[in-house]
Structure 1
Amino acid sequence: MAGIKAIVFNTIFLIILNVVSANVQVKTNSGVVEGIEVKSILKDEKYYSFLGIPYGEPPVEDLRFMPPKPHKNWEGVLAAKKEKKPCAQFNFAIRDTSEYGFYGVEDCLHLSIHTPKIPSTSQNVNLPIIVLFINEQFRVMPNISKEFGPDFFMKEGVIIVSVNHRLASLGFLSMEDDLLPGNNGLRDVILALKWIKDNIHNFGGNPNKITLMGQQEGAVLVEILLHSPKAKGLYHGAILQSGTVWNSLYFTGKARERAIEFSKQMEEHATTTTFMLKRFADVPAEKLLDSEHMAVHADEARAIQRGIIPFGPVIEHDHPEAIITKLPEEGLVNIEVPIMIGYTSREALEANKNFFVRPQFLTYADRDFLVMIPIRAGFHFTVNDKIYFRAVKDIKDFYFDEGYVKNSKPGEYITYMSDVLSFYPIDYAVRKYSKESKSDVFYYTFDFSGELNNRKIDALKEARNYDGTWGATVGDDLCYLFVCKKIKKAYKEAMEQNDSEEMQVLDNMVRMWTNFAKTGNPTPPGDKFTWKPATPENKECLLINEELQMKTKLHEDRVKFWDDWIKKYKEMAKDSVVKDEL
């Protein structure tokens, strides 16, 4: 009996010992954090995760709508073993998701760190860092550590950090004054980057090799920081995926008007900042976020031919704490770090998936054609004037085989929408940066279609028409860099194959992205491929598919069309409006 007890005791002891050995503690300037050892999807690999480390005080009560304050130091050991909830947000039905409506919390200023190695007294570790930002329209943010596994980056010796920051009105409400200038969501990020720079060496990171990486509006956030003196010195490179600050969707102005209208629609009418903050102080976050659409008139976007985000980054008035005080186009670009920038070949496929399910709806798309001016061009049309319809005809004649949107060819409409929403603004950014920036610009197009194209596969699962569904939609490239946990099984199946095209594409991308984090060059000397930086003359662009190919002047006919179209109608504008002559 005593022998059995001894065996049971020893077994329990070993189990406890194994659990404890899976934890790891790191001392930071804020206090000690305890993370966990994680088994990688890759055989015999592991890494360490520290989840939900606070970098800012909870932005609640008197700190709601206010700039963030650094988190106070803590006593004892902070458990960082579970991912915290993301910042409060209202998830709208842009695409299939398990979370619709309100979710998240206001106490959300946390960051998570994944590292392949921890320094010890016998081992000095000095790894590059990628800080990852993903959000959609500054309104929705995934729980990054839960949805995107860092396994492949861990294998290559690159630390991944993700940052929670405030979204929508909670992060970007602005009255255009000193008390409420807007952009507190950006201030959150800058505070987090300062914490990372001061503490990342404790996790094996090199504070002088920090690359910012953003996808969709996460890329826009990163790009704004490139233009902000407040973020200078906090990063050493940038990766911009499927988003650019040059898109007409951003910096639409009227932030104060929008805030006042918002308060009016909320029945908390306020015309001064102090009164607005007082009226909004006790309004539940769910009510605030669910009501934001009321700040924008239903016909406003159509009237100015630009998309409108109710509450996003703003150009601030000139004050000591301003993040950005002028539009990027108001002066020469002065960026001193290397940039990777690109897009997926069928960016708008997901957002327009209903046209593949019900192609007959394209009849309405033709009848009430959506005109979008892709960049801030300084003009808009008077809707329904003859000249407006002439501009519509120009677009239709170029993009549609017979000059109208046909039910049988949704692919033509996807090309148009992809160009105005993503490709042309990104190509425009490449031209600006390659001409004016002091560092290299690496331009890419992700075109591969395979079993890891998670968002494209989801978008087309009920499709009846597959015209124009080649290539990749927005976000598909992320699943060739990270382990998209929703399709984790697909990675295991791909890795078991000797000739998996998916793994070939993934290996190439991870190698280039991590090389960029390490050296500022995705294909440094000695690499088996050379990704040439873009030049203003040729716009060298890497086409990512089963094989890597360098292209020059990609889709130049489409670029020229928009260059000419914008120039033509801008010259006709009077007081920024293009309208019929009386």
Structure 2
Amino acid sequence: MIKILVVELLVLLASSSVFSIEVDTDLGRVRGVNLTSRLGVSFHAFRGIRYAEPALGELRFVNPQPVKPWSPGTFDASQDGPMCPQPWDNMTDVSEDCLRLNVYTKDVKARKPVIVFLHPGGFYVFSGQSKYLAGPEHFMDRDCVLVSLNYRLGSLGFLATGTKDAPGNAGLKDQVLALRWVQKHIHRFGGDPQSVTLLGYSAGSISIGLHMISPMSRGLFHRGICMSASPYGPPKYHSNDLQLAQRQARLLKCPQEPVAEMVECMRRKPYLDYVSTYNGMFEFGWNPVLNWRIVVEEDFGQERFLIEDPFKTARRGDFYKVPLITGITEFEFKSAAFWDLRNASIVSKYNSDWERFAPIALILDRDSNQSRTATRVLREKYLPESRDKLEYPKSLKGLGELFSDALIGVAFNRFLRLMAPHTPIYTYLFRYKGRYSFLKNPDNQEAMGPVHHDELLYLFHVGLISPLLKREDPENFIIERMTRMWMEFAKKGDPHNKNDEYLKELNWPRYTSENQDYLEIGTNLTAKTGGFYLDRYHIWDELFPLSGF
């Protein structure tokens, strides 16, 4: 009997050594697990590592504080940490103790390029967790260290009263603190702190554009991959969003003034009260999509993320210049148009009072003569067949293009124009239509992409949408090409590698203001010139000239 127990113990110890790994850091020891990549390569996963103190009580709405060391204990990083407060099916997976990051590596003794993923979600949903949106299995077939992270969302991350109580941009400061953590500790996991590439999608892409501007972020990264968004859209920047803060206060049954009492009351409310009032923070449906705004902070003695209007900084060329990849998908926010047109309540709002409701969906100033004029012109230009009535499916193409440009395309185009004189840029239009998409027609289950988020399906295992795609799947070639181009860029600021079987024919010219070269990413990789959708973007330039920002 004793012999049997000894054998079982030896088997248990052997299996634990196979499935776990420990790394020493200045904060204490971290225990991770061993996992397998998409193509069967073993790698180490350290998930849910706390990089900041939980933003509770007096730490709500203000700059995050670095995590305290846990030595001599060992931090269990074997599973994803919780996501930041948001509506979710499994609320046991949600907590304010969410300022966590994941590190994936194949060799803790190496010095590999680091890719840091900043997740999408409009600054109010999603996370860096591996199980839903940011599975590491694709990138772990490449020679890098991958980091994904959470940051505070919604009112808990972006409440901006214009006072010292909630100066704004807390979620972006969380990202900064995580990047500082990477600089201090990533070498313990086999990463090179002098070769850090930020990879951001949507809100994460906006974040990268702002990190290039922010004095807090200088020197913390060396390249940027900005996918489907930038911080240079039609909305103008302000020093506060007190109106949205007061809306949240009303929903929480807090006083709306004086501001100090309002914020103090909001600090005492359980985070589940914020989650349960999410729907009430939007005007109709999930509009406006970008509801919580980034602000230019006033100086209350805090470290400020933004100290002036990003347009002003960018035009002056006084920003942290790093090589860039940036691009968009072919159909972007067609998904928003699809669901709005199939919602009788929302489409009736557009049809009954377009000039009132369109500015909300298009993220324009409300109740101004300029926005009323703009919405009339935009309807005529984008929806000539639906001047009298929006309806599905007739209006889908025009409304999809209008939403895509208002929310993504115009800002992307301005980003190119503002950055190109100062730093190398590669740009792309993603046109690959796969079996999986973030937009599927519920009537026939047809994938309607490529829409917003769809490139992520080939860079990460997006468990929300698709199974883990293998070598024999038809998507294998696009996964190989995307991860290899992104990896080459992360390594040296250039996506080419003539010695790579998947990239040997790649010809991706840099973007210049004169030629406006870009790569069309579809079944083939095709270099093109002359830009794309420029006639549509010209409509916006006439309505909202870049010189006016």
Question: CA 1:22–1:512 in 2, change beyond 3 Å: closer, same or farther?
Answer: same
Q: TM-score, normalised by structure 1?
A: 0.82
Question: CA 1:400–1:31 in 2, change beyond 3 Å: closer, same or farther?
Answer: same
Map of 1:518 onto structure 2:
491
1:535 lines up with 2:518 in the alignment: no
1:311 and 1:263 map into 2 onto residues whose CA distance is: 14
8 Å contact from structure 1 (residues 115, 158) kept in 2: yes
CA offsets, 1:91-139, max 9 Å, x none? Answer: 5xxxxxx55x8961111121110111121xxxxx110111111131211
Question: CA 1:525–1:515 in 2, change beyond 3 Å: closer, same or farther?
Answer: same
What does residue range 26-425 of structure 1 map to in structure 2 within 5 Å? 26-43=23-40, 45-74=41-70, 75-90=72-87, 98=89, 104-119=94-109, 125-147=110-132, 148-248=134-234, 251=237, 254-291=240-277, 307=288, 309-318=290-299, 320=301, 321-331=303-313, 332=315, 333=317, 334-354=319-339, 365=350, 368-369=353-354, 371-372=358-359, 381-382=368-369, 387=373, 392-393=376-377, 395-401=379-385, 405=390, 407-409=392-394, 410-425=396-411
8 Å contact from structure 2 (residues 119, 127) kept in 1: yes
2:238 and 2:399 map into 1 onto residues whose CA distance is: 25
Map of 1:461 onto structure 2:
442
Unaligned runs of 5+ in 1: 92-97, 120-124, 302-306, 577-582
Counterpart of 1:483 in 2: which secondary structure? coil
CA offsets, 1:221-260, max 9 Å, x none? Answer: 2221111011101000111111211123574664234334
Q: Say which is worse superposed, 405-414 or 342-351, in terms of deviation.
A: 405-414
1:550 and 1:509 map into 2 onto residues whose CA distance is: 15
8 Å contact from structure 1 (residues 362, 407) kept in 2: no
2:307 and 2:297 map into 1 onto residues whose CA distance is: 5
* Offset, 1:20: 2.4
* Offset, 1:216: 1.3
Map of 1:496 onto structure 2:
472
1:360 and 1:273 map into 2 onto residues whose CA distance is: 35
Query: For residue 213 of structure 1, what is the amino acid of its counterpart?
Result: L
CA offsets, 1:359-409, max 9 Å, x none? Answer: 998686555445459999999743997x56xx5256424543575646443
8 Å contact from structure 2 (residues 248, 281) kept in 1: yes
2:269 and 2:433 map into 1 onto residues whose CA distance is: 45
CA offsets, 1:548-582, max 9 Å, x none? Answer: 112222122222232234359x99xxxx9xxxxxx
1:181 and 1:60 map into 2 onto residues whose CA distance is: 16
Question: CA 1:33–1:384 in 2, change beyond 3 Å: closer, same or farther?
Answer: closer
8 Å contact from structure 1 (residues 248, 374) kept in 2: no
* Offset, 1:266: 3.1
Counterpart of 1:353 in 2: which secondary structure? helix
Q: What is the percentage of aligned positions where both structures have the same residue?
A: 26
Query: For residue 454 of structure 1, what is the amino acid of its counterpart?
Result: S
8 Å contact from structure 2 (residues 249, 255) kept in 1: yes
Aligned match for 2:480, one of 477, 485, 507: 507
Give the number of equivalent residue pairs: 533
Question: CA 1:454–1:258 in 2, change beyond 3 Å: closer, same or farther?
Answer: closer
Query: For residue 59 of structure 1, what is the amino acid of its counterpart?
Result: A
* Offset, 1:154: 1.5
Counterpart of 1:211 in 2: which secondary structure? strand
Map of 1:20 onto structure 2:
17
CA offsets, 1:52-74, max 9 Å, x none? Answer: 11111121133223321111111
Question: CA 1:470–1:366 in 2, change beyond 3 Å: closer, same or farther?
Answer: same
Counterpart of 2:171 in 1: which secondary structure? helix
2:519 and 2:3 map into 1 onto residues whose CA distance is: 64
Aligned match for 2:426, one of 435, 442, 445: 442
Question: CA 1:556–1:135 in 2, change beyond 3 Å: closer, same or farther?
Answer: closer
1:360 and 1:448 map into 2 onto residues whose CA distance is: 33
Counterpart of 1:322 in 2: which secondary structure? coil
Question: CA 1:546–1:326 in 2, change beyond 3 Å: closer, same or farther?
Answer: same
CA offsets, 1:487-540, max 9 Å, x none? Answer: 654613xx225xx3x211111111111111111111256652121111112321
Higher Rg of the two aligned structures: 1
* Offset, 1:39: 2.0
8 Å contact from structure 2 (residues 211, 217) kept in 1: yes
Counterpart of 2:544 in 1: which secondary structure? helix
Unaligned runs of 5+ in 2: none
1:398 and 1:530 map into 2 onto residues whose CA distance is: 34
Counterpart of 1:485 in 2: which secondary structure? coil
1:224 and 1:181 map into 2 onto residues whose CA distance is: 17
Counterpart of 1:35 in 2: which secondary structure? strand
Q: Say which is worse superposed, 555-564 or 53-62, in terms of deviation.
A: 555-564
8 Å contact from structure 1 (residues 64, 170) kept in 2: yes
8 Å contact from structure 1 (residues 315, 326) kept in 2: yes
Question: CA 1:24–1:102 in 2, change beyond 3 Å: closer, same or farther?
Answer: closer
CA offsets, 1:134-176, max 9 Å, x none? Answer: 1312111235211232122122111111112111111222221
Q: Say which is worse superposed, 196-205 or 311-320, in terms of deviation.
A: 311-320
1:355 and 1:296 map into 2 onto residues whose CA distance is: 14
Counterpart of 1:144 in 2: which secondary structure? coil
Question: CA 1:156–1:295 in 2, change beyond 3 Å: closer, same or farther?
Answer: closer
